[in-house]
Amino acid sequence: MEKISFIIPVYNTEKYIRQCIDSILVQNLSNFEIIIIDDGSTDNSLTICNQYSSKHSNIHVFSQKNSGPSAARNKGIEEAKGKYIFFIDSDDYYVNGALNKFEEIVEREPDVDLVFGKIMTFHEGTSKKMPKLKYKNTGKIGELTGEEALSYLIKTNQIMISNYSALIKKELLCSNHIRFNEKIYFAEDVDFMLRVYCSSKNINFIDEFFLMYRKNREGQLTQNVNYEKLGMAVNLYADLIEKIDTWNLNTESQKAIKRYLSNLYFSTLGSLKKDDREFMLKYQLLNKHQGLIKYVSGFKFFLGKCAFFVFGFNTTVQSMQILKRIYYKLK
């Protein structure tokens, strides 16, 4: 049985997939496999992956019609033989030698469910690099359950809900029926990783950068954001807030997660601002989910709360529309 399965969903990344695969092969790991799911690529990505598979017996390539990254990752989970799973996007890559500590932890702590580390963001075509998130006071993380750690990280503003940020025990996913929601293709990490954290009994943290996360590349899914994707995301956040009460969590954890999701909700709505169609979507979503305002935190959200409770929903939104039009006339 393989110790670690790397799951790579691939779609039209012929320019980057070699670097991604090579960054795994050069790691000094004792027993691993690479599961590649080509999601209907129309470039040479599948050909490149098959070339690697023909040379390496531990690289397995599967091809499917274009169904989105969630379906590709779920296929990877089904095919994975490893005790633990790493997810990585095909345009990202691992830091050389950085995965040894993950392997050391799972060997030393066979009951660990989740091990997460630090991620470095870099911008395509530039030398600019910066941590995706700066961690501090993480010494006690290894003493907490996943639920406790999630609550702590949210309260200290250092939570990163990304599937590629952690090594996850496959049995945790299987026994808790955790899969990616294939009906959504934007912000799909949020539902998945919240369930992973809340189901984990034993976790650990490695205070080192292990993954290079590429931003601003041409064709990147997260770059092509439109009002449909943002609407999908905010509806997901609202639905999760309603479901949190059924997750059998303690009261403090529920409050922390609801606050986190509500902040995501209103932050995402804040990016809908360019035309009246998007503004009307914002209005409709706010009207539908106006009860979420009570969960938000932070100064800018506090101002929104004050306006909401003093002037009411309709007046607040109408004021937003007037200010938006003034802003774009002056711009």
Distance CA 179, CA 294 (A): 30
DSSP, collapsed to helix, strand or coil, labels residue 4 as strand
pLDDT in tens, the chain (331 residues): 579 999 999 999 999 999 999 999 999 998 999 999 999 999 999 999 999 999 999 999 999 999 999 999 999 999 999 999 999 999 999 999 999 999 999 999 999 999 999 999 998 877 778 888 778 767 778 889 999 999 999 988 888 889 999 999 999 999 999 999 998 888 899 999 999 999 999 999 999 999 999 987 665 555 556 677 877 888 888 889 889 989 999 999 999 999 899 888 877 776 665 554 455 455 455 555 555 555 555 544 444 444 444 344 444 444 444 444 444 444 4
CATH number of this structure's domain 4-223: 3.90.550.10
pTM of the model: 0.83
Distance CA 50, CA 174 (A): 28
Distance CA 326, CA 148 (A): 45
* Closest C-alpha among 2, 195, 204, 175 to residue 113: 204
Per DSSP, which regions of the chain are E strands?
Answer: 4-10, 32-39, 59-64, 84-87, 93-94, 114-123, 129-131, 166-169, 203-215
